[in-house]
């Protein structure tokens, strides 16, 4: 017996035929989509609660394929010192703050490359997973680690740290044996929990900060436990300098490229690298806003797509994006590649939406469950209010969502059939709790910056550096 009917929306199914149904009826039964069709073809059974979605668009929930819920100068002098001070209560607060923002940007699935520093890993993981469970988000908890900081660039970290002598610097290194024990415990404890919404992956940070043994162990761990794994790969040209060759080339020569790998960024890659990634069936996640924010470069996404590589999209960290809003980032993704290739056909809005939904699900190995609105899949659904001045007129829905939406138009979100955002408000917090969350987050942030002695406000700089 269906428990909810969502009636009247203009639905982009993202199914194989990419059908658009208008007006549509979607029946949600427990966690699953029971029926999808034009409203004159789907009967709403008597007694079922109906959510009136007229005037709204419905899309599958976005897959944020690379983010950090809780990277040289910035990594060592800002991020690591700040993260070192997090306790479990800070982690919980950060997760809830993240979720209330991410849901309003339409994300229902995220890959959280968790970055909390080696204090009590299990306490931090438990705080994260508990908060995600409360909020109902679908999460890959990808545990990052670094077991070797600058073997390939001797003195690298110390040179950068020396530029900010007042900051309380933190060690990010954790021995590999301990990392592998932690990963086993994390998978045993959390993988498949929250009705299957939580997965756990290894996420060795990058080729710069993880030993070859650590990288190989991550790939082997993923294969042995039936998981995928994440890695920041070729994020900046600095890696090429450290390895004396391209990162993808290096990873390929060391047998690290496999079909379980979700490679984050892939900015500094050439045509040969793209062929190597394709040959090994590696999935890529691109983070256009983060790459611009940090001045890392621009990933050759149109070339990767043309080569048939699966490319997902991520916001990356709030720290290197300034928001975690998937809907808001899509325009940048499209415009960036049209601009840099001087080709308005380089990337279409339809392709951008595929990357953010069904292709993202594919990259995570979840396309059987999420990424499109089809019977039998989980009901991860997003409603977008089309009655906004910037969304009128809306002739072509894909183009409207990518180019006209700003990221503030999401009104309702369902994950696993549970409504987690209703009329723009999270259902797992009262209005008073949400207000308290925001002030609590601001207080905790100030306290963490103060204890790490990281300057929150810097002198006015008209020029960089």
Rounded Cα distance, 430 and 419, in Å: 14
Rounded Cα distance, 198 and 191, in Å: 6
Rounded Cα distance, 311 and 264, in Å: 10
Helix ranges (DSSP H) in 342-430: 349-356, 358-363, 397-399
Q: Are strands 418-422 and 107-114 parallel, antiparallel or unpaired?
A: unpaired
Please report how close the Cβ of residue 132 comes to Zn ion at its closest, in angstroms.
18
Given the complex with Zn ion, which of 139 and 401 has the nearer CB atom?
A: 139
Rounded Cα distance, 81 and 455, in Å: 11
Give the residues lining the site for Zn ion (CB under 5 A): 316
Given the complex with Zn ion, which of 116 and 382 has the nearer CB atom?
A: 116
Given the complex with Zn ion, which of 182 and 316 has the nearer CB atom?
A: 316
Specify the 3-state DSSP secondary structure of 261: strand
Please report how close the Cβ of residue 232 comes to Zn ion at its closest, in angstroms.
5
Please report how close the Cβ of residue 68 comes to Zn ion at its closest, in angstroms.
6
Tokens of 420: 């987690």
Given the complex with Zn ion, which of 264 and 365 has the nearer CB atom?
A: 264
Handedness of CA 289, 294, 298, 299 (dihedral sign): negative
In our burial notation (b when 16+ CB lie closer than 10 A, e otherwise), range 360-396 reads bbbbbbbbebbbbbeeebbbbbbbbbbeeeebeebee
Please report how close the Cβ of residue 88 comes to Zn ion at its closest, in angstroms.
22
Given the complex with Zn ion, which of 74 and 403 has the nearer CB atom?
A: 74
Q: What is the CA radius of gyration of the chain?
A: 22
Please report how close the Cβ of residue 287 comes to Zn ion at its closest, in angstroms.
7
426 to 62, 309, 390: CA distances (angstroms): 17, 36, 24
Nearest residue to Zn ion, by Cβ distance, number only: 316
Please report how close the Cβ of residue 142 comes to Zn ion at its closest, in angstroms.
10
Rounded Cα distance, 319 and 456, in Å: 13
Given the complex with Zn ion, which of 289 and 367 has the nearer CB atom?
A: 289
Please report how close the Cβ of residue 422 comes to Zn ion at its closest, in angstroms.
31
Asked whether 414 and 73 are in contact (CB, 8 A), the reply is: no
Given the complex with Zn ion, which of 316 and 329 has the nearer CB atom?
A: 316
């Amino acid at each position: 017996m269906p428990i909810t009917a969502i009636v009247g929306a203009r639905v982009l199914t993202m199914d194989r035929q990419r059908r658009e149904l208008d007006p549509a009826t979607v029946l949600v039964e427990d966690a699953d989509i029971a029926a999808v069709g034009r409203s004159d073809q789907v009967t709403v059974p008597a007694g079922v609660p109906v959510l009136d979605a007229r005037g709204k668009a419905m899309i599958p929930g976005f897959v944020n394929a690379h983010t950090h819920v809780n990277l040289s100068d910035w990594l060592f002098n800002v991020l690591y010192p700040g993260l070192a001070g997090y306790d479990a209560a800070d982690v919980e607060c950060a997760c809830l703050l993240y979720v209330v923002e991410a849901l309003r940007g339409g994300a229902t699935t995220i890959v959280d490359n968790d970055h909390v520093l080696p204090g009590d890993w299990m306490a931090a993981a438990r705080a994260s997973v508990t908060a995600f469970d409360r909020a109902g988000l679908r999460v890959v908890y990808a545990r990052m680690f670094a077991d070797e900081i600058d073997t390939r660039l001797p003195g690298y970290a110390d040179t950068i740290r020396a530029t900010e002598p007042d900051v309380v610097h933190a060690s990010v290194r954790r021995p590999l044996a301990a990392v592998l024990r932690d990963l086993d415990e994390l998978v045993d404890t959390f993988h498949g929990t929250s009705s299957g919404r939580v997965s756990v992956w290894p996420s060795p940070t990058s080729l710069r900060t993880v030993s070859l043994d650590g990288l190989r162990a991550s790939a082997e761990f993923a294969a042995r436990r039936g998981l995928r794994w994440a890695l920041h790969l070729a994020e900046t040209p600095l890696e090429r300098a450290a390895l004396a060759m391209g990162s993808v080339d290096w990873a390929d020569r060391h047998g690290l490229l496999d079909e379980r790998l979700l490679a984050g960024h892939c900015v500094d890659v050439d045509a040969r690298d793209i062929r190597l990634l394709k040959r090994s069936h590696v999935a890529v996640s691109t983070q256009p806003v983060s790459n611009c924010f940090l001045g890392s470069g621009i990933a050759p996404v149109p070339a990767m797509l043309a080569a048939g590589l699966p490319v997902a999209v991520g916001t990356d960290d709030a720290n290197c994006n300034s928001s975690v809003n998937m809907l808001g980032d899509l325009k940048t993704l499209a415009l960036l590649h049209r601009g840099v290739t001087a080709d308005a056909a380089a990337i279409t809005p339809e392709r951008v939406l595929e990357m953010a939904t069904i292709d993202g699900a594919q990259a995570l190995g979840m396309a059987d469950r999420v990424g499109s609105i089809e019977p039998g899949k989980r009901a991860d659904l997003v409603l977008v209010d089309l009655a906004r001045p910037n969304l009128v007129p809306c002739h072509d829905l894909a183009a409207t969502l990518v180019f006209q939406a700003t990221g503030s138009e999401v009104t309702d979100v369902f994950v696993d059939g549970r409504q987690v955002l209703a009329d723009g408000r999270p259902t797992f917090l009262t209005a008073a709790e949400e207000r308290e969350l925001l002030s609590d987050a601001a207080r905790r942030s100030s306290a963490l910056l103060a204890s790490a002695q990281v300057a929150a406000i810097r002198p006015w700089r008209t020029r960089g550096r």
